[in-house]
Amino acid sequence: MADTMELRDIEVWDGNMAAAQALRQAQVDVVAAYPITPSTPIVEGYATFKANGYVDGEFVMVESEHAAMSGCIGAAAAGGRVATATSSQGFALMVETLYSASGMRLPIILNVVNRAIGAPLNVNGDHSDMYMGRDSGWIQLDAYNPQHAYDLNFIAFKVAEDHDVRLPAMVHQDGFMTSHTAQGVCTLSDEVAYNFVGEFQPMNDMLDLDHPVTHGVQTEEDWHFEHKARQQHALMTAVMPKIEAAFAEFEALTGRKYNVVETYQMDDAQTAVICMGTSVETAMEVVDELRAQGIKAGVVGIRVFRPWPLEQLAEILKNVKAIGTLDRSSPHGTVGTLYNEIAGSLFNTGVKAVLNNYIYGLGGRDLTKAHLVGIYQDLQANAESGTLTTPLQQYIGLRGPKLSFF
Amino acid sequence: MSEIKKIKNLKEFSTSADRFEGANLLCPGCAHSIIVREVLNATNDDLILSASTGCLEVCTAVYPYTSWDASWIHIGFENGSTAVAGAEAMYKALKTKGRLKQPDRVPKFVAFGGDGATYDIGFQWISGCFERGHNMMYVCLDNEVYANTGGQRSSSTPIGSSATTSPAGRVSYGEKQNKKDMLAIMAAHGAPYVAQVAPNKWKDMVAKIQKGFAAEGPVYINAMSACTTEWKFAPEDTIAISDLATDSLVFPLYEIINGSELNITYRPKNIVPVRDYLGAQGRFKHLFTKQYEYLLDEWQTRVDAKWVQLQRREEARV
């Protein structure tokens, strides 16, 4: 039996420690992991808990991220609670097995501390790895600060392990800006946290020796499509209600309210910035200043990136006149991901908001309040003229000549 | 530790509990099914199995069918070892936490992979599993070629063999590299038990599998798997070809205990010339021409040298 850790009501934790503590409190059965900056302190923290008797599950330090997820898949199929953490290049190495995990319907929790992907090599935070996970069949939740990184882990376990869902889930946080920035984090006691997540309920577990199961079969044109369609159907229909129910239950327990789409000053907003991660809170500060000047600006933060909250966004954005989508990743050959997703959300709704796209913060470059003020000025001009007054895609905080597109 | 299953004779062995069904899609004459059955039938204990992508995997778990009456998992080409290592870690965790459904039963964890999955693409994963010391057996079904995808060379493909990516031709005798010595590499990991087996020598094989199951820690078994399709011999000749392989000492049968103690477990009464083994297979037929026949002598010299080396290792006990 693992020892209980006494926590203060508010601990000063960075995002990595918050995630490590959540994994400890969820009493994960197997963590198979490989260290990579900036997620390394999650597994270091977990290893330290194990070394001091606070974890009685297995901690398997493997030889690569691909092996980490492979071990997680084997452990999850065997029948128990499984989690790990990674970033960037390691995430990229894992990608093959991410598809295996979701296709095999195994509820693994992956903490992704977002970081740029080389070349050029870069250890700092952007959303390239998060976006790479878009099509992998995982649930993707996004934390904006260490508190979220802590709370969303519990919610991720609860949703992913639900027998109507049985899909793996990622909890994202921004590399360094969240992962290495200590803030006050409201804690749950070990008992309350574990009771919220609940006891793991195995299904098709290999270790039920009286009921052998075959995992990871071959299907060709005769059955492959049905398997993928069922997985997509579960992701599109079962997951969002379970997330909303988990958010509601978590709010009742803690008073902390999460939403599928987070909004700030959106009730009467004429212009809105849509972004993810730490940028959401920066934009909220800017909106406070703009509102003081009488400008009706708002912020939309994506909390659930997969499954994509298509209908919720259409509702939230129905009266907005100009929308700026902020992507912290190079789209490499098209418009940014959030631009595409928001355009898709609005296309059949009759909303005629002017939509443009900003690429910012690659490789950990700061997004300042001054940058956001400039963006809102663009949006205001778009709202007033009812048409694009800027290039469709612009770079924010880039030195040298303007490299805008379209 | 559970009791070791007693096996009196081949008749009894061939009719013992069958957890690998005859209903599979492997080629007629494929040695894979013989090897898998010999491994599984060597124990009465529960089994948790994995397979890497390859012939065994694509021929035994095609939805909605399965040939496996024991829990089995496949993830990808390179990670069959880590799949079963993950399951073994979960077993340990649930044992510690008192959550095993059948706490009195101790399953064996076995990973199967072809030589492509073992010598090449899965090499790092296997090394990792062995370094960490998982309690598992890794069985390489060594048919010396990527048979599932039509006969491309692997680092187990022997020199002079014609494979589709190292074909023999007007100016090439085929594969140029010597086969990787996987047993030495796995023994160097300090594994408690490493052995080479061949399905035609079933008593030797079962004894080794049982030793492997009795060992604590990672066990590596290199199983010669004669491939009718890619070695190019008649399907009914699988055992005859296998006999030529073991009696010519191209596939010497031996074991290495704790990384150092080497025992030769089969000494042919009549050692067959290597050319008889090579000549029985289409993949080597171009060696029997004036242009390339010098390679036959090189082959014999290499096999002789390896046999001397194995005997010296055995005598030296180091």
Q: Using an 8 Å CB-CB cutoff, list residues of chain A that contact chain B.
A: 29-30, 32, 56-58, 60-64, 66-67, 70-80, 82, 96-97, 100, 104, 205-210, 212-219, 223, 227
Q: What is the DSSP string of B54-119?
A: SHHHHHH-BTT---BSSEEE---SS-HHHHHHHHHHHHHHHHHHT--SSTT---EEEEEEEHIIII
For chain B positions 112-171, those within 8 Å of chain A (CB to CB) are 124-125, 127-128, 131-132
Per the DSSP assignment, residues forming a β-bridge with A405 are A393
Map residue B27 onto helix, strand or coil: coil
Contact A67 B94 (CB under 8 A): no
Q: Can you tell me the distance from the alpha carbon of B257 to that of A374, in angstroms, rounded to the nearest whole number?
A: 71
In a domain, A401, yes or no: no
B124 contact residues in A (CB cutoff 8 A): 63-64, 67
Contact A223 B64 (CB under 8 A): yes
On whether the CB atoms of residues B148 and B54 are closer than 8 A, the answer is yes
**Residue range B224-233, pLDDT digits in tens:** 999 999 999 9
A38 CA to chain B: closest CA distance, Å? 23
A82 contact residues in B (CB cutoff 8 A): 90
On whether the CB atoms of residues A32 and A60 are closer than 8 A, the answer is yes
Quick check: pTM over 0.90? Answer: yes
Q: Does B71 touch chain A (CB under 8 A)?
A: yes
Q: Would you say residue A39 has pLDDT above 80?
A: yes
**Residue range B172-184, pLDDT digits in tens:** 999 999 999 999 9
- A239 & A318 share domain: no
Contact B61 A70 (CB under 8 A): no
Task: Please choose, from the candidates A41, A105, A47, A49, the residue with its C-alpha nearest in 3D space to the C-alpha of residue A73.
Answer: A105
Number of Cβ within a 10 Å radius of residue A307: 19
A347 CA to chain B: closest CA distance, Å? 39
Q: Give residues with Cβ within 8 angstroms of B156, minimum separation 6.
A: B115, B116, B118, B119, B120, B142, B144, B145, B179, B180, B182
For residue A69, the enclosing domain spans: 10-200+218-254
Contact B73 A206 (CB under 8 A): yes
Q: Can you tell me the distance from the alpha carbon of A204 to that of A87, in angstroms, rounded to the nearest whole number?
A: 30
Q: What is the mean pLDDT of chain B?
A: 96
Q: What is the DSSP string of B239-293?
A: HHHHHHHHHTTSS--EEEETTTEEEE----SSPPPHHHHHHTSGGGGGGSSTTTT
Task: State residue B2's pLDDT score.
Answer: 63
- A196 & A344 share domain: no
- A237 & A352 share domain: no
Task: State residue B277's pLDDT score.
Answer: 98
Q: Which residue of A has its CA nearest to B88?
A: A75
The number of folded domains in chain A is: 2
On whether the CB atoms of residues A297 and A271 are closer than 8 A, the answer is yes
- A250 & A266 share domain: no
Alpha helices for A33-82 (secondary structure H): 40-51, 65-78
**Domain ranges within chain B, ordered by starting residue:** 10-316
Task: State residue B318's pLDDT score.
Answer: 81
In a domain, A405, yes or no: no
**Residue range A189-245, pLDDT digits in tens:** 999 999 999 999 999 999 999 999 999 999 999 999 999 999 999 999 999 999 999
Per the DSSP assignment, residues forming a β-bridge with B222 are B140, B196
A166 CA to chain B: closest CA distance, Å? 17
- A192 & A274 share domain: no
In a domain, A374, yes or no: yes
Matching residue, tokens 């599932």:
B148
- A234 & A373 share domain: no
- A224 & A309 share domain: no
Map residue A382 onto helix, strand or coil: helix
Q: Which residue of A has its CA nearest to B129?
A: A62
Q: And the tokens for A4? A: 């209980």
In a domain, A361, yes or no: yes
Map residue A301 onto helix, strand or coil: strand
Q: Can you tell me the distance from the alpha carbon of A43 to that of A385, in angstroms, rounded to the nearest whole number?
A: 51
B239 CA to chain A: closest CA distance, Å? 29
- A137 & A61 share domain: yes
In a domain, A205, yes or no: no
- A70 & A105 share domain: yes
Number of Cβ within a 10 Å radius of residue B46: 18
In a domain, A327, yes or no: yes
% of chain B surpassing 90 pLDDT: 93
Contact A60 B127 (CB under 8 A): no
Distances (CA, A) of A206 to A77, A198, A212, A247, A255: 6, 21, 6, 31, 39
- A250 & A323 share domain: no
Type of residue at B155: S
In a domain, A1, yes or no: no
- A124 & A22 share domain: yes
**Which of A72, A210, A217 shows the shortest C-beta gap to B86?**
A72
Domain B10-316 CATH assignment equals 3.30.70.260:
no
**Residue range B38-75, pLDDT digits in tens:** 999 999 999 999 999 999 999 999 999 999 999 999 99
CATH of residue A161's domain is 3.40.50.970
In a domain, A363, yes or no: yes
Q: Which residue of A has its CA nearest to B82?
A: A71
Q: Can you tell me the distance from the alpha carbon of A324 to that of A367, in angstroms, rounded to the nearest whole number?
A: 14
Region B263-271 average pLDDT: 98
CB burial of A130-161 (b: ≥16 within 10 Å; e: otherwise) equals bbbbeebbbbbbbbbbbbbbbbbbbbbbbbbb
Contact B96 A70 (CB under 8 A): no
On whether the CB atoms of residues A87 and A129 are closer than 8 A, the answer is yes
Q: Taken in order B199, B203, B204, B208, is the CA torsion positive or negative?
A: positive
Name the burial class of residue B239, with classes exposed (0-12), middle (13-18) and buried (19+) by CB atoms within 10 angstroms of its CB.
Answer: middle
**Residue range B161-173, pLDDT digits in tens:** 999 999 999 999 9
Q: Does B107 touch chain A (CB under 8 A)?
A: yes
- A374 & A297 share domain: yes
Q: Can you tell me the distance from the alpha carbon of A365 to that of B209, in angstroms, rounded to the nearest whole number?
A: 57
